Amino acid sequence: MVTFEEIGLRPEILQAVHALGFEKPTPIQEQAIPFVLSENTDLLAFAQTGTGKTAAFSLPMLERIDAELPQIQALVLCPTRELCLQIAQDIDNFTKFLKIRTTAVYGGASIDKQIDKLKRGAHIVVGTPGRTLDLIKRKRLKLEQIQWLVLDEADEMLNMGFKQELDSILATTPKEKQTLLFSATMPKELIRIAEQYMHEPKKITVGQRNTGAKNVSHEFYVVQARDRYQALKRITDINPNIYGIVFCRTRRETKEIANKLMQDGYNADALHGDLSQAQRDHVMSRFRSRHLQILVATDVAARGLDVDDISHVINFNLPDDLEVYIHRSGRTGRAGKTGVSLIITHSREIGRIKSIERKIGKTIERKKVPTSREICEKRLLHLMDKVKEVNVNDDEIAPYLPKVYEKLESLSREDLIKHFVSFEFNRFLEYYKDAPDLNVANKRERNGRDREREGERGGRDRKRRGRVDFNRYFINLGSKDELSPKNLLSFIDSHPKLKNVEVGKIDIQKSFSFFEIDKRYESQLIEAFAEVEYGGNEIVIERSKGGRGQGGGRRDSGRKSSYKGKRRS
């Protein structure tokens, strides 16, 4: 492996890099930095999160930027405020010994202050699409002279609905520039942007696309849907040093799980779209500083949270898009450390586990939810380790020991240990006393009682359908959104109140679909789809005209229910 010196960076940059503790370039840096230093053609780089992408694109730009030229020479676009601030801070660290100025522009902060910073001059602007376009429209951000355009986590910008903003921003940039696009995946819309705005780009791939990190082990636990939270607590209890993220599907679920954990005495908090920016900053600061052990978050809210020491990523629910699982798992096992990505699921999702295995090229090991005995033993031994490792100040404690010895002289060594353990551990032992086994037996999967409901176009068995009164619903997702009967059923099954509901005919069209569900469960269906996104798209559900499976494909124009997820900025 080459060194940063061999790549050809100037002494001021090398000094900053070594001050940050960087010794050798990562694989993406080793390939991207020399290319950007020596070439002017565009670059498509595929690399997973946490592989050193910021240095890969910023170090060669810093080498070539003219600090004496008082104009914006580089624009870096990224999906979230948090990532924007992080990139800007990283570039500031790299320019510690250079006279190159960087300005971050993002939503949720005063635009006037950002305009003032732009007036004072910047060589590099790092921005989110929404705020960047706003400043362009106000004619406060002029990009006619930029030489480099960087799209970082470009796939996520598209997933979050920034396609129009990206089109508008890119249209204001000069044709003669070097475009550097960094992404973990290559969706169709990204290919379109690459074809429209890039010219014969060089492609760099680090590792295999859409696969998991090598340092991450994968495991899953099968429980009843109603037992997910209890399983989460047991997994947390068996890992006393856990420092992890629990991913939930919706804001509502995120708040509920975080509140339950806090009420049960766990060092946890939530990160979701309903928080103000000040609240988000406070939660993220506490987590980064390890004042929180467990962060419960939605996928969008966690974007830009870059922490190298995360030990566990816990999927409280599997995401609708299985590639999101890869992004989640990539948040652990960084910087040469190992990590665990685990899934709490039920037997109907075993097929989806197999799909993930094919994507990541690894086996996801099935584990048993710890028993009460296993947890108590692990916590007790952990407590003993902490006692052994405690720092004893002999001089400070010496004056008090005679009275302590006197108080405890009636106890034997064995009795003293028992009293000590009981004092520290009684509540824990009491909580897990007679705790049930949460695991779903493999036998139930083999005999088919919990088999996945495939939902073929012909619907359920005719005898069963004859006993159920169905309502028919329209949903604004179809095959182009990669919706399938299996995905739809998996989502419905994941909601505890819909676990045993009868689903009838499912009709998947190109851009929309219809499905039948037991009419008694309409309110539960409303709750399940409230504030939910699928593949970054807003979800709309409406009662279909014609009722139970009578075709026609019309929506009920009178009585309808519409539920939409919101795009994050």
Count of CB atoms within 10 A of residue 168's CB?
15
Q: For residue range 486-517, what is the model confidence (pLDDT) as tens digits?
A: 778 877 776 777 767 888 888 888 888 888 88
Identify which of 167-171, 196-200, 545-549 has the greatest average pLDDT.
167-171
Helix (H) or strand (E) holding 247: strand 244-247
**What average pLDDT does this structure show over 148-158?**
85
Domain residue spans of the chain: 4-205, 216-371, 373-431, 453-543
Phi and psi at residue 18, to the nearest 5°? -70, -30
pLDDT at 464: 44
Banded model confidence at residue 177, pLDDT cuts 50, 70, 90: very high
Hey, what are 292's tokens? 């929180």
- Report the 3 state secondary structure along 168-216: HHHHCCCCCCEEEEEECCCCHHHHHHHHHHCCCCEEEECCCCCCCCCCE
Looking up tokens 């001059």 gives: 121
Cα separation, 445 vs 423, whole angstroms: 43
Count of CB atoms within 10 A of residue 288's CB?
14
Identify which of 16-30, 53-67, 210-224, 308-322 has the greatest average pLDDT.
53-67
Banded model confidence at residue 453, pLDDT cuts 50, 70, 90: very low
Count of CB atoms within 10 A of residue 435's CB?
15
What is the number of alpha carbons within 13 Å of residue 561 lying toward its C-beta?
15
Average pLDDT score over the chain: 82
Cα separation, 542 vs 476, whole angstroms: 9
The superfamily (CATH) of domain 453-543 is RRM (RNA recognition motif) domain (3.30.70.330)
Same fold, 4-205 and 216-371: yes
* CATH topology for the 216-371 domain: Rossmann fold (3.40.50)
Residue 14 has pLDDT above 70, yes or no: yes
pLDDT at 210: 46
Q: For residue range 109-136, what is the model confidence (pLDDT) as tens digits?
A: 899 999 999 999 999 999 999 999 999 9
Q: E-assigned strands of 331-480?
A: 339-345, 365-366, 470-475
pLDDT at 509: 85
Cα separation, 497 vs 417, whole angstroms: 47
Work out the angle at residue 10's Cα, subtended by the Cα atoms of residues 8 and 12, and round it to the nearest 5 degrees: 145
Who contacts 282 (Cβ-Cβ below 8 Å, separation ≥6)?
none
Cα separation, 57 vs 36, whole angstroms: 8
pLDDT at 23: 78
Banded model confidence at residue 452, pLDDT cuts 50, 70, 90: very low
Hey, what are 474's tokens? 């329209």
Torsion of CA 139, 141, 143, 144, to 10 degrees: 40
Residue 74 has pLDDT above 90, yes or no: yes
Banded model confidence at residue 540, pLDDT cuts 50, 70, 90: confident
Q: Helix (H, G, I), strand (E, B), or coil: what is residue 526?
A: helix
pLDDT cut 90: percent of the chain above it: 36
pLDDT at 195: 81
Q: For residues 104 and 470, which has the higher predicted lDDT (pLDDT)? A: 104
Banded model confidence at residue 438, pLDDT cuts 50, 70, 90: confident
Distances (CA, A) of 468 to 461, 471, 516: 11, 10, 10
Cα separation, 90 vs 93, whole angstroms: 5
Burial degree of 546 (CB within 10 A; 0-12, 13-18, 19+): middle
Q: Helix (H, G, I), strand (E, B), or coil: what is residue 343?
A: strand
**What average pLDDT does this structure show over 273-287?**
84
Cα separation, 268 vs 271, whole angstroms: 10
**What average pLDDT does this structure show over 307-325?**
85
What is the number of alpha carbons within 13 Å of residue 231 lying toward its C-beta?
26
Cα separation, 533 vs 272, whole angstroms: 14
Q: For residue range 93-103, what is the model confidence (pLDDT) as tens digits?
A: 999 999 999 99
What is the number of alpha carbons within 13 Å of residue 286 lying toward its C-beta?
16
Cα separation, 44 vs 205, whole angstroms: 8
Residue 549 has pLDDT above 70, yes or no: no
- Domain 4-205: CATH architecture, name and number where available: 3-Layer(aba) Sandwich (3.40)
Residue 446 has pLDDT above 80, yes or no: no
pLDDT at 279: 87
**What is the DSSP track for 5-61?**
HHHT--HHHHHHHHHTT--S--HHHHHHHHHHHH--S-EEEE--TTS-HHHHHHHHH
Helix, strand, coil percentages in the chain from 3-state DSSP, rounded to 5: 45, 15, 40
pLDDT at 191: 79
Banded model confidence at residue 37, pLDDT cuts 50, 70, 90: very high
Residue 50 has pLDDT above 90, yes or no: no
Q: Are 60 and 37 in contact (CB under 8 A)?
A: yes
pLDDT at 525: 83
Cα separation, 566 vs 537, whole angstroms: 9
